[in-house]
Structure formats: structure tokens, C-alpha cells
């Protein structure tokens, strides 16, 4: 942010290109500080970029209810602070065991009762904060605030689906000319071959 002219020079002419900013993983940059919001404003307002946030969470750390709720709250915090179209992606799905994949599948369409069942283990902590955890679970479900999409790097169709979602968010290609094609009828005159009686 201290050198916007340098950044603009490094970016060069990026018409119709995707530009990815691989940002540090320190969550406080998105939740407690304004630096990322300032970068987003610079890109959108000064340089007319179409921007979306892609929040990546390692799926290996999301296989139990309490960690999933924690990851959900981190994603929600980033979404609120950046004020951008946003997609949350669970990475490294291809590295999970079958049982861990099944556990994650339960969380992709979160049911707060399912999440709460995983969180409530009978510990003093979970008993003390059971109502808070219940409220967070209901908030996530009732308002559809956060949804995660799995990423399996070995599945080309999965990657294409995620890219399409991102394209739609930033309206990538919306300004392109529509390609049209003239079609010729089989008999050449456009007649449907029907009888004129």
C-alpha cells in the first residue's frame, strides 16, 4: 500500500487476464487490520479490477465439529471485513482418508445439530459454551452465511466448476462480444417442408 505506483507498473496491462494475489495466511490481516481492505479498494476503485475473495482452508484441519465452526467463523469474518463476492474452498481433499472425507461431506451442507453433536463431547468447556455453540450453528444454517466447496486437485471437473463459480462472481468475460452463427436449413429456403393446403 506504500507503493501503489510500483504495483501498478508490475501489473502492467492486464486486460482480460486473471490476476491472482496469493496473500499471507495470517487471519489477523483480514479480521483486525485494514490493509487488505485498502488493497481491495485500490484495485476496484483506482484500477477498475473486478475482485472476489477466495478463502482457502486446509480440509485436514476441518474434520471435527469444533474446528469446522472455528473455520466457518474465520471465513465469515474475512467475508464481512473485505466486503467482496466470496467463495470458501476446502483444499487438499485428495489427501483425506475415506472416513475424513465422509466427515467433511457432512459439513459441506451444514446441519447445526450434526455439528453440535460433534462439538459436544461432555467436557467442561463444551458444557459451559453449549448455548453459544448452538447459536453459532443456527446462525450459519438459518442465514446461509458460509458455505464451503471442496477442492480436489486431481479432479479436473471439480477445478473447472470452482473456476466457473469465480468467473460468475467477477463477471469474467461478460464484456466479450457474443458470437453468433447463421444456420442454414436443410432445403436452403427456411421452409419447414410442410404442406401449404
Residue 150 predicted with pLDDT over 90: yes
Instruction: Name the residue with higher pLDDT: 130 or 179.
Output: 130
The reply to whether 71 falls in a domain is yes
The reply to whether 108 falls in a domain is yes
Residue 23 predicted with pLDDT over 70: yes
- Cell 473485505 locates to 82
- pLDDT mean across residues, the chain: 81
| pLDDT score of 187 | 63
The reply to whether 83 falls in a domain is yes
| pLDDT score of 147 | 87
pLDDT band at 188 (very low <50, low <70, confident <90, very high): low
Give the H or E element holding residue 148: strand 148-150
The reply to whether 104 falls in a domain is yes
Residue 1 predicted with pLDDT over 90: no
| pLDDT score of 95 | 92
For residue 150, the domain's CATH number is 3.40.50.300
C-alpha pair distances (Å), 181 with each of 8, 138, 184? 39, 51, 10
pLDDT band at 16 (very low <50, low <70, confident <90, very high): confident
State how far the Cα of 113 lies from the Cα of 128, in Å rounded to an integer: 17
| pLDDT score of 15 | 77
Average pLDDT over residues 185-189: 61
Residue 196 predicted with pLDDT over 60: no
- Domain span at residue 138 reads 25-169
The reply to whether 6 falls in a domain is no
What is the tally of structural domains in the chain? 1
Residues 6+ apart with CB under 8 A from 36: 23, 29, 30, 81, 82
The reply to whether 194 falls in a domain is no
Q: What is the pLDDT of residues 37-95, one digit of tens each?
A: 999 999 999 998 999 999 999 998 887 777 888 888 888 888 988 999 999 999 999 99
The reply to whether 131 falls in a domain is yes
The reply to whether 5 falls in a domain is no
Amino acid at each position: 500500500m506504500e507503493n501503489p505506483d510500483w504495483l501498478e507498473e508490475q501489473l502492467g496491462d492486464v486486460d482480460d487476464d486473471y490476476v491472482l494475489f496469493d496473500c499471507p495466511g495470517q487471519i489477523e490481516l483480514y479480521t483486525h487490520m485494514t490493509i487488505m481492505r485498502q488493497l481491495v479498494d485500490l484495485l476496484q476503485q483506482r484500477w477498475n479490477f473486478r475482485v472476489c475473495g477466495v478463502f482457502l482452508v486446509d480440509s485436514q484441519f476441518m474434520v471435527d465439529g469444533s474446528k469446522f465452526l472455528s473455520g466457518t467463523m474465520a471465513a465469515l469474518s474475512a467475508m464481512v471485513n473485505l466486503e467482496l463476492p466470496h467463495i470458501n474452498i476446502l483444499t487438499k481433499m485428495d489427501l483425506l482418508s475415506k472416513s475424513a472425507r465422509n466427515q467433511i461431506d457432512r459439513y459441506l451442507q451444514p446441519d447445526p445439530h450434526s455439528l453440535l453433536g460433534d462439538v459436544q463431547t461432555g467436557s467442561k468447556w463444551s458444557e459451559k459454551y453449549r448455548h453459544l455453540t448452538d447459536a453459532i450453528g443456527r446462525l450459519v444454517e438459518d442465514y446461509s452465511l458460509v458455505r464451503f466447496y471442496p477442492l480436489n486437485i486431481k479432479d479436473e471437473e471439480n477445478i473447472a466448476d470452482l473456476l466457473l463459480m469465480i468467473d460468475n462472481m467477477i463477471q469474467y468475460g461478460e464484456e466479450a462480444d457474443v458470437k453468433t452463427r447463421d444456420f442454414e436449413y436443410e432445403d436452403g429456403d427456411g421452409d419447414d417442408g410442410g404442406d401449404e393446403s
